[in-house]
């Protein structure tokens, strides 16, 4: 499997032999031309293969899927890395310890009607890892892949990332203490929950460096991209990425769409024609991009329901054809802070498929985005093709989140976090009776205690290992929005 950039040359032009392999792009993040990596083509999964995959464990399924994208790591080594990652011990923070071996248990809120009038509503639990967020599903594997590839090459790498709340802690917990790895993580100052800040800033490992930016997540993400696009600096300081701009993150997330599909269609043979809808809380478009790719591979996903909070750039695009990233001053600080994003990096990956994988079109469109402008596809043939990709979209507000959290607790006895509430609110609005609606849980409610208390008047439970985390000493460097300031911190630590 070889990879191309969304802004680079098509493999059909005769340059595909120079395209990089998985291990090469694992360590680079952004492509040299500023684009994002994607496979030259999506591997296809037949109905017969779907039937064979139904009975696999999560680790076995992850190998079946990921081996289609990774052919430059020996199969036995890849299998061992995946088996080491997806264990009940690593993903044992869920509500029911007895289900830990399932890794991503499916919880029915409304079971399918035996008469066939209602296909059911479910939550796919993705937040049972060490930081209680779905980011652990990919990040734990990424940490093991990084360590393996670096050891084989005898190299080191310095990870530079930006987080709106959950990516940072997931990355740091996955990379802490690992040989050959340092992490420099940018976060928006005072725009995360107290629990999220504590998870990151209480880590004092020598290879972990937290930097809080006086601005929004988009400001932090722009800094990461600017540093990555300084090719001389990137090469000298061996800068890599763990944000969802890194293809390996997206690839690992494809797996749980297959696992959720099998669980929602009964987990038995004979149902691989049945379509399933997934509702996905979306900020940076990485999570739902993985669902888009699973669908392109042949997984029978009938609908991908994108849910935003008040920062509704993506919802606006799917309703109007206009993609208009907002300035940091227009980005709302909300009670689902991990989605407080107004410039969705992974949207470029979907747009590449939408425009027929033409990198010239993407270069032209994103030159406007990178200059602070917008994209209007409403009157183009590309927008008319949007329905071919199965997307629907909706928006949720703080009042909606509180109401959904209350209703879910009262009706189903289940406490959910604010982001999952966004997904459930929009998913219920857009569900149809002919296919199950599976809402992707993005975090456990303990990460957003303040809003849970506001909604329910009670505190969510948290694992014993994370009790009192807010009281631990914290270490973070606070800076203004400045590329040079971040470069200076990296230089000070490495020179």
Report which secondary-structure segment, H or E, holds 212.
Answer: strand 208-213
For residue 135, indicate whether it is catalytic: yes
CA dihedral (78, 80, 81, 82) positive or negative: positive
Return the SS3 of 196.
helix
Q: Which of 47, 84, 135, 487 is catalytic?
A: 135
**Helix, strand, or coil here: 279?**
strand
DSSP structural state of residue 123: E
**Angle value at C-alpha 417, between 135 and 108, nearest 5 degrees:** 90
* Phi, psi at 417, each rounded to 5°: -85, 175
Please report which helix (H) or strand (E) contains residue 356, including its range.
Answer: none
**Closest by Cα among 162, 208, 157 to 189:** 162
Q: What is the dihedral of CA 424, 427, 431, 434, to 10 degrees?
A: -80
Counting Cβ atoms within 10 Å, is residue 155 exposed (0-12), middle (13-18) or buried (19+)? Answer: exposed
CB burial of 81-91 (b: ≥16 within 10 Å; e: otherwise) equals bbeebbebebb
Two structure tokens written together for 118: 């209602």
Active-site annotation, residues: 135
């Amino acid at each position: 499997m070889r990879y191309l950039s969304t802004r680079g040359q098509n493999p059909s032009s005769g340059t595909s032999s120079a395209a990089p392999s998985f291990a090469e792009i694992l360590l680079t993040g952004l492509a040299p031309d500023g684009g994002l990596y994607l496979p030259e083509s999506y591997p296809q999964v037949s109905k017969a293969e779907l039937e064979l995959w139904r009975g696999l464990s999560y680790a076995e399924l992850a190998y079946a899927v990921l081996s289609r994208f990774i052919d430059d790591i020996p199969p036995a080594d890849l299998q061992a890395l995946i088996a080491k990652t997806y264990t009940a011990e690593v993903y044992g923070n869920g509500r029911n310890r007895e289900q830990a071996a399932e890794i991503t248990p499916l919880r029915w809120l409304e079971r399918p009607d035996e008469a066939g009038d209602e296909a059911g509503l479910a939550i796919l639990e993705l937040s049972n890892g060490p930081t209680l967020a779905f980011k652990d599903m990919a990040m734990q594997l990424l940490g093991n892949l990084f360590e393996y590839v670096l050891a084989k090459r005898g190299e080191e790498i310095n990870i530079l990332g930006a987080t709106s709340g959950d990516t940072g802690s997931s990355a740091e917990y996955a990379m802490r203490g690992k040989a050959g790895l340092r992490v420099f993580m940018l976060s928006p100052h005072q725009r995360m929950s107290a629990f999220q800040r504590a998870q990151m800033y209480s880590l004092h490992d020598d290879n972990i460096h937290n930097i809080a930016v006086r601005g929004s997540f988009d400001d932090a993400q722009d800094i990461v991209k600017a540093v990555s696009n300084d090719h001389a600096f990137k090469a000298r300081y061996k800068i890599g990425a763990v944000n969802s701009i890194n293809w390996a993150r997206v690839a690992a997330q494809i797996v749980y769409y297959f696992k959720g599909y099998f669980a929602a269609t009964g987990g038995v043979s004979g149902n691989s024609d049945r379509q399933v809808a997934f509702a996905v809380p979306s900020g940076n478009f990485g999570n739902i991009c993985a669902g888009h790719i699973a669908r392109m591979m042949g997984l029978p996903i009938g609908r991908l329901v994108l849910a935003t909070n008040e920062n509704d750039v993506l919802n606006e695009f799917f309703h109007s054809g206009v993609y208009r990233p907002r300035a940091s001053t227009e980005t709302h600080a909300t009670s689902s802070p991990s989605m407080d994003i107004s410039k969705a990096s992974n949207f470029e990956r979907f747009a590449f498929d939408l425009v027929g994988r033409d990198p010239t079109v993407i270069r032209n469109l994103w030159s406007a985005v990178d200059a602070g402008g917008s994209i209007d596809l409403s009157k183009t043939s590309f927008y008319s093709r949007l329905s071919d990709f199965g997307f629907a979209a909706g928006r949720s507000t703080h009042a909606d989140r509180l109401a959904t959290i209350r209703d879910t607790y009262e009706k189903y006895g289940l406490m959910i976090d604010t982001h999952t509430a966004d997904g459930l609110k929009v998913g219920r609005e857009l569900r149809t009776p002919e296919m199950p609606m599976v809402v992707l849980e993005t975090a456990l409610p303990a990460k957003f205690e303040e809003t849970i208390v506001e909604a329910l008047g009670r505190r969510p439970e948290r694992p014993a290992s994370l009790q009192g985390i807010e009281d631990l000493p914290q270490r973070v460097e606070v800076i203004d929005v400045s590329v040079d300031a971040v470069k200076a911190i990296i230089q000070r630590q490495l020179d």
